[in-house]
Amino acid sequence: MPFIPHTDADIKAMLASIGAKSIDELFDEIPEALRAGKLTRVPEGLSEMEVARLMQARANQDGQYLNFIGAGAYEHHIPAAVWEIVTRGEFYSAYTPYQAEASQGTLQLLYEYQTMMASLTGMDVSNASLYDGASGLAEAVLMAVRAHKKARKILIPRTVHPIYRRVVYAIVRDQAIELVEVPFDTKGGHTAPESLKAYAGGDFAALVIPQPNFFGVLEDVDALTDWAHSNGMFAIGLVNPTSLAILKPPGEWGAKGADIAVGEGQPLGAPLSSGGPYFGFLACKEPLVRQMPGRIIGRTVDKDGKQGFTLTLQAREQHIRRSKATSNICTNQGLIVTAATIYMSLLGPEGLERVAAACHANTLATVAKLTGIKGVSSVFDRPVFHEAVLRLDIPVGDALHALEAQGILGGYDLSEHYPELGQALLVCATETRTAEDIEQYAFHLERVVSKRRLDPPCATKVNA
Amino acid sequence: MLIFEHSQPGRRNYSQAPLQKTDIRDIPESLRRRQRPKLPEVSEMQAVRHYTRLSQKNFSIDTHFYPLGSCTMKYNPRACNKLAMLPQLLGRHPYAPQSTGQGFLACMYELQEILKDVTGMKSVSLTPLAGAQGEFAGVAMIRAYHDARGDRARTEILVPDAAHGTNPATAVMCGYTVREIPTDADGDVDLEALKRSVGPQTAGLMLTNPSTLGVFERKIQEIAKVLHDAGGLLYYDGANLNAILGKVKPGDMGFDVIHMNLHKTFSTPHGGGGPGAGPVAANTRLEPFLPVPMVGKLQDKYFWETEKTRPQTIGRLSANMGNAGVLLRAYVYARLLGREGMHRVADFSTLNANYLMAELTKAGFTAAFPKRRATHEFILTLKGMKEKTGVIAMDVAKRLLDKGFHAPTTYFPLLVPECLLIEPTETESREELDRFIAAMKEIAAEAASQPDLVKAAPHTMPVKRLDDVKAARELDLTWKRPAA
């Protein structure tokens, strides 16, 4: 029996102790009619060897591609030591540190994580993580509404990740919170501060400020933050953690700094893995700490005065406050935060800065190379971090299919969410892309674009 | 020591970052960072040693019996981890075309089918990132269902008083008010009170079965009828699905929507508090409202189901489809167990719990519901011990740590005084259970003869009992270098 250690002798002795004749008898309080259901669709059990063969075949089927997609999830080098340590059983198979004395490893690590994230974002405090960046933004919105007390409307620029905007809507809509979208400047690809004038006096609780924004473009964060504050709303910075090694952290935006910083933690040591598990980070200024959702770790002393770590501010949480909790969240993404903490320790400030700068340089090199192709042009004229929007003179979907047949994932097709941009493509080149990779991409894109109106290579036609 | 205390300015790992430092001149000065973040500057070996040592300060399933009630801390098979971390699976971008993810999508589709089968539901969405998000999805679906019918008078969610705290918190997130239903002396929902509470204002009832009291809710069919007759819907909190896996299907009990905790029932790792996975399943009535994306299949090709094919969906709960890597681990676990392995989970987790309850009762402990069968877990109440010796449940919990056992869940559910909620799971051997019983007997003896020893526990952990009041009053949430 997989993972069940009982021998026949064990079963017999245990039933005798209970005073039952069979294991089935232990279910005799359950109405007979409910015990009739048989499993029909669960397949027969396999040995580990057979499952390994199956999984390897599935993995091989998916293969490996030269990736130029970013759009919220980024391919970075992850030092070998990170997941070697993360998958140690003592981290991997422990639970939420309710028994602090038997969980000092996890608790101290989370305290170190909070320290690193607060410093990276320029904030006073950080929680111990949320599920992911998108749901983290929803929690930041709820937090701003709680703290603001009066207003229940939120300004979200269209330069925020389109899926994030949908997620926020799905999570907050039943609490009578209204999301108002702000259009972007079609020349710069940013949220023009002067365009916000239309919303002044509109009774908003917060302005969301993405940096870099979904297009990779750098927003004028100082002006946006100051505008939010001078109009009586909180400023929520939605940031990429890698970029913070070289970009001004939200805590220093404008005259007073943003109030909340939130974002997707995946770039800090989590593999792409089809979208998860990742983690969301959330940091804020001191006065908002009691409005934060999720687990928070504090440093304290034990009864001998020795330093120790414990879950704190639990009076905000569902298991104490029930219907009055700040959120229904119980878990953080502990294991992925373990990866992030080790990742940041191994890279250090200099390492993370080099990674960020290399991503930036590779993206600029990719843009320069690709826009050298006839029929490919840049869409926006403002500086970017590690992504950029390109326009093609053929349908983006066709181009991506053709590139896929050459083993290249050419980027994220923007035509569904931003039809006004025409045939637009979001490309990203992190530090993992080499000059040869970029060369290869440009070589194939040139062929694809120049063959416009002809059929794409036949290998892609099946699924087209 | 903290990692920051190992740090020295200028120390770094040359292999772990690009060898060339590239310039960022085109980024305007005003948008650049002025001061470096205070990340540690340590060698690779210092980091490895520091975090390895930290890991050794944890209790975990791999090192200790962990009978934490309601959390299902069973063995996490290593194969699940290894096979979910094959390079192609780790390297796949979430927005890579579905044509490049047929292997991955096949696993997800089959996992949906497996979960449909064990829950007896029509359709499954894997997208919720944790149990609490699965709960949110389920209640949001109930709301969407009533809204779609134009029935806006239903403003209230009913929750048993023994329910997990997430239930009322979730109901409020979905814009509902909460009404609590009392529990009767045998641990069942008070049916008469329920009948008095339902009405045209009732949107639904959130129920865990077996309940958080460690007993099966025997009147579940009547409860379902009361709710449905009143026009309300029945929500199943899958926290305790391990107790009935492969034996009883929530769909057959009359539930309309359910969430599962794959980190419990399907043995994905708890990871020090996450990531979890909280798929949600629905019957025909609620199916159209399931969160997207889901995985569909058409002529041997797998594809993403989105808002386009499911226009009534409550929407998206994460940037992608859930914690994919966790879902892969659950899939591998399900394939290893197979059809005939599922009900054994329920059989042996129930056998282990009933054995522990019987032996501990014989040893003089008091079960909260002595006339009931234990499910996969049961409650002891230490009220008698407290009255006689002054030793409380928390003291016993801490003393168990000294004896090499993680503590059971303490002080939950709130309505049983001085309670320990004990869940051994099916993966523990009889010898391990016997060692736990022996430790409990020793502690009972210590409580009688030297109560101060128990009240001061733990004595052998890296720290003694921590000052939680100081932690909350004098908030210290980030490390600052002490002034030289």
| Partners of residue B291 in chain A, C-beta under 8 Å | 170
Lowest mean pLDDT among A33-42, A186-195, B71-80, B103-112: A33-42
Which chain B residues have a beta carbon less than 8 Å from that of A129?
Answer: 274
| CA–CA dist A298, A57 (Å, integer) | 46
Both structure tokens of A329: 């969240």
Is residue A277 in a domain? yes
Residue A102 is assigned to a structural domain of this protein: yes
- Dist CA B427 CA B439 (whole Å): 19
Residue from A358, A284, A436, A347 nearest A74 by CA:
A358
> Is residue A134 within 8 angstroms of chain B, CB to CB?
yes
* A184 and A272 assigned to the same domain: yes
Residues whose CB is less than 8 angstroms from the CB of residue A216 and which lie 6 or more positions away in sequence, other chains included? A70, A363, A384, A385, A386, A387, A388, A389, A426, A428
Same domain as A363, residue A331:
no
CATH number of the domain that residue A386 is part of: 3.90.1150.10
Chain A CB contacts of B250 under 8 Å are none
Range 432-461 of A in CB contact (< 8 A) with B: none
Residue A325, pLDDT score: 78
Which amino acid is present at A429? A
Q: Does residue A356 share a domain with residue A260?
A: no
Residue to mutate among B35, B475, B480, with most A CBs inside 10 A, is B475
Six token digits for residue B288: 């159209």
B78 touches A93 (CB < 8 A): no
Cα separation of the two ends of chain A: 46
Give the per-residue SS3 of chain B. Answer: CCHHHHCCCCCCCHHHCCCCCCCCCCCCHHHECCCCCCCCCCCHHHHHHHHHHHHCCECCCCCCECCECCCCCCCCCHHHHHHHCCHHHHHCCCCCCHHHCHHHHHHHHHHHHHHHHHHCCCEEECCCCCHHHHHHHHHHHHHHHHHHCCCCCCCEEEEECCCCCHHHHHHHHCCCEEEEECECCCCCECHHHHHHHCCCCEEEEEEECCCCCCCCCCCHHHHHHHHHHCCCEEEEEECCHHHCCCCCCHHHHCCCEEEECHHHHCCCCCCCCCCCCCCEEECCCCHHHCCCCEEEEECCEEEEECCCCCCCCCCCCCCCCCCHHHHHHHHHHHHHHHHHHHHHHHHHHHHHHHHHHHHHHHCCCEECCCCCCCCCCEEEECHHHHHHHCCCHHHHHHHHHHCCECCCEECCCCCCCCEEEECCCCCCCHHHHHHHHHHHHHHHHHHHHCHHHHHCCCCCCCCCCECHHHHHHCCCCCCCCCCC
**Are B358 and A65 inside 8 Å of each other by CB?**
no
Per-residue pLDDT tens over the stretch B219-267: 999 999 999 999 999 999 999 999 999 999 999 999 999 999 999 999 9
Query: Quick one: A317 and A450 in the same domain?
Result: no
Best probe of the B interface among A38, A60, A62, A355, by most B CBs < 10 A, is A62
**A327 domain residue, yes or no:** yes
B433 residue type, one letter: L
A329 within domain boundaries: yes
Distance from CA of B22 to the nearest CA of A (A): 6
Same domain, A177 and A322: yes
Q: Are the beta carbons of A41 and B117 separated by less than 8 Å?
A: yes
- Same domain, residue pair A86 and A158: yes
Residue A384 dihedral angles phi and psi, to the nearest 5°: -120, 165
Per-residue pLDDT of B417-454, as tens digits, reads 999 999 999 999 999 999 999 999 999 999 999 999 99
What is the distance, to the nearest Å, from the Cα of residue A270 to the centroid of all Cα atoms in its chain? 10
Same domain, A71 and A58: no
Buried b (16+ CB within 10 A) or exposed e, B127-142: bbbbbbbbbbbbbbbb
Count of pairs with CB atoms under 8 A, one residue in A, one in B = 682
CA-to-CA distance for A345 and B7, rounded, in angstroms? 9
Show which of A307, A342, A377 is a domain's final residue: A342
Q: Looking at the complex, does the CB of residue A42 fall below 8 Å from at least one CB of chain B? A: yes
Is B12 an interface residue toward A (CB < 8 Å)?
Answer: yes
Q: How far is CA B137 from CA A179, A349, B118, B367, in A?
A: 20, 40, 19, 35
Q: Which residues on A lie below 8 Å from B315 (Cβ)?
A: 166-167, 169-170
The helix, strand and coil proportions of chain A, stated in percent and rounded to the nearest 5, come to: 45, 15, 40
Quick check: A350 and B12 CB within 8 A?
A: yes
Q: What is the pLDDT of residue A458?
A: 53
Q: Where are the domains of chain B?
A: 3-55, 79-337, 345-469
Of A233, A225, A221, A48, nearest in space to A147 by CA: A233
Residues of chain A positioned with their CB less than 8 A from the CB of B248 = 30, 34-35, 37
Tally of CB atoms within 10 A around A272: 25
What DSSP element (H or E) covers A205?
Answer: strand A204-211
Judge whether A400 and A410 are in contact, CB under 8 Å. Answer: yes
CB contact under 8 A, B107 and A331: no
- Cα–Cα–Cα angle for A438, A441, A445, nearest 5°? 140
Domain that holds residue A21: 8-62
Verify that A217 and A320 share a domain, yes or no: yes
Whether B162 has a pLDDT exceeding 60, the answer reads yes
Q: Categorize the per-residue pLDDT at B404 as very low, low, confident or very high, splitting at 50, 70 and 90.
A: very high
Distance (Å, rounded) from C-alpha B151 to C-alpha B203? Answer: 9
- Whether the CB of A338 is below 8 Å from some CB of chain B: the reply is yes
Which residues, 6+ apart, have CB-to-CB distance to A454 below 8 Å? none
Question: Using CB atoms, which residue from B58, B463, B472 is nearest to A308?
Answer: B463
Dist CA A460 CA A406 (whole Å): 10
Residue B129: pLDDT band with limits 50, 70, 90: very high
What is the widest separation between alpha-carbon atoms in chain A? 83
Residue contact A300–B476, C-beta within 8 A: yes
Question: CATH classification of B79-337, choosing from 3.40.640.10, 3.30.420.40, 3.10.130.10, 3.40.50.300?
Answer: 3.40.640.10
Given this model, what pLDDT does residue A455 score? 56
A16, A86: one domain? no
B132, B275 Cβ separation under 8 angstroms: no
- The counts of H helices and E strands in chain A are 12, 15
Is the same domain home to A41 and A107? no
Q: Find which of A1, A4, A171 to mutate to test the B interface (most B CBs within 10 Å of its CB).
A: A4
B143 backbone dihedrals φ, ψ, rounded to 5°: -65, -45
Mean pLDDT of chain B: 97
Residue B212 has pLDDT above 70, yes or no: yes
Residue A3 lies in a domain: no
Taking contacts as CB-CB distances below 8 angstroms, the residues of chain A near B337 are 2-3, 45
Is there a common fold for B79-337 and B345-469? no
Residue with tokens 């500057």: B41
The Cα–Cα gap between B135 and B258 comes to 8
Q: In this structure, what token pair is assigned to residue A369?
A: 């190379």
pLDDT for res A459: 52
Q: Do A26 and B354 touch (CB under 8 A)?
A: yes
Q: Provide the token pair at B270.
A: 């708890």
Question: DSSP class of residue A74?
Answer: -
Chain B (278-297) residues lying within 8 Å, Cβ to Cβ, of chain A? 291
User: CA-nearest residue of chain B to A212?
Assistant: B31
**Cβ–Cβ under 8 Å, residues B124 and B272:** no
Q: At what angle do helices B44-55 and A334-370 cross, to 10 degrees?
A: 150
**CA angle, A67 as apex, A63 and A73 as ends, to 5°?**
105
As a CATH number, domain B345-469 is 3.90.1150.10
Say if the Cβ atoms of B130 and A166 lie within 8 Å. Answer: no
Residues of B in contact with A334 (CB under 8 A): 270-275
Q: How does DSSP classify residue A186?
A: T
Asked if B471 lies within 8 A of A310 by C-beta distance, the reply is yes
Omega prior to B413 cis, within 30 of 0: yes
Contact A274 B104 (CB under 8 A): yes
Q: Is B274 close to A334, i.e. CB distance below 8 A?
A: yes
Structure tokens at B191: 């049916």
Q: A45 to chain B: which residues are within 8 Å by CB?
A: 335-341
Contact call for residues B175 and B143 (beta carbons, < 8 A): yes
Half-sphere exposure (CA, 13 Å, Cβ side) for B16?
Answer: 28
Task: Check if the beta carbon of residue B205 is closer than 8 Å to that of residue B232.
Answer: yes
To the nearest 10°, report the CA torsion of A350, A351, A354, A356.
-110
CA distance B100 to chain A (A): 5
A58-70 burial code (b ≥16 CB/10 A, e <16):
bbeebeebbbbbb
For residue B457, CA distances in Å to A138, A310, B241, B386, B398 come to: 41, 17, 34, 16, 5
Together in a domain, A105 and A37: no
Separation in Å, CA of A282 to nearest CA in chain B: 13
- A266 vs B: CB within 8 A: no
User: Which chain B residues in 303-332 lie under 8 Å from chain A, judged by CB atoms?
Assistant: 314-326, 332
Q: A28 to chain B: which residues are within 8 Å by CB?
A: 373
For residues A37 and A162, state if they share a domain.
no
What is the DSSP secondary structure assignment for residue A194, as one 8-state letter? G
Question: Which value does ipTM take for this structure?
Answer: 0.97
Distance CA B246, CA A4 (A): 15
Q: Would you say residue A1 lies in a domain?
A: no
* Local confidence pLDDT in tens for the 464 residues of chain A: 899 999 999 999 999 999 999 999 999 999 999 997 799 999 999 999 999 999 999 999 999 999 999 999 999 999 999 999 999 999 999 998 989 999 999 999 999 999 999 999 999 999 999 999 999 999 999 999 999 999 999 999 999 999 999 999 999 999 999 999 999 999 999 999 999 999 998 899 999 999 999 999 999 999 999 999 999 999 999 999 999 999 999 999 999 999 999 999 999 999 999 999 999 999 999 999 999 999 999 999 999 999 999 999 988 777 777 777 777 877 789 999 999 999 999 999 999 999 999 999 999 999 999 999 999 999 999 999 999 999 999 999 999 999 999 999 999 999 999 999 999 999 999 999 999 999 999 999 999 999 864 555 555 544 43
Q: What is the mean pLDDT of residues B329-354?
A: 97
A325 residue type, one letter: A
Task: Give the tokens for residue B357.
Answer: 């309850």
**Structural domain includes residue A2:** no
From residue B86, alpha-carbon distances to A45, A69, B92 in Å are 21, 20, 10
Residues of A in contact with B346 (CB under 8 A): 27
Q: Which residue of A has its CA nearest to B171?
A: A323
| B241 C-beta neighbours (distance < 10 Å), count | 29
Domain count, chain A: 3
**Pure H helices in A185-290:** 221-230
Residues of A in contact with B347 (CB under 8 A): 23
Q: Is the CB of A361 inside 8 Å of chain B's CB atoms?
A: yes
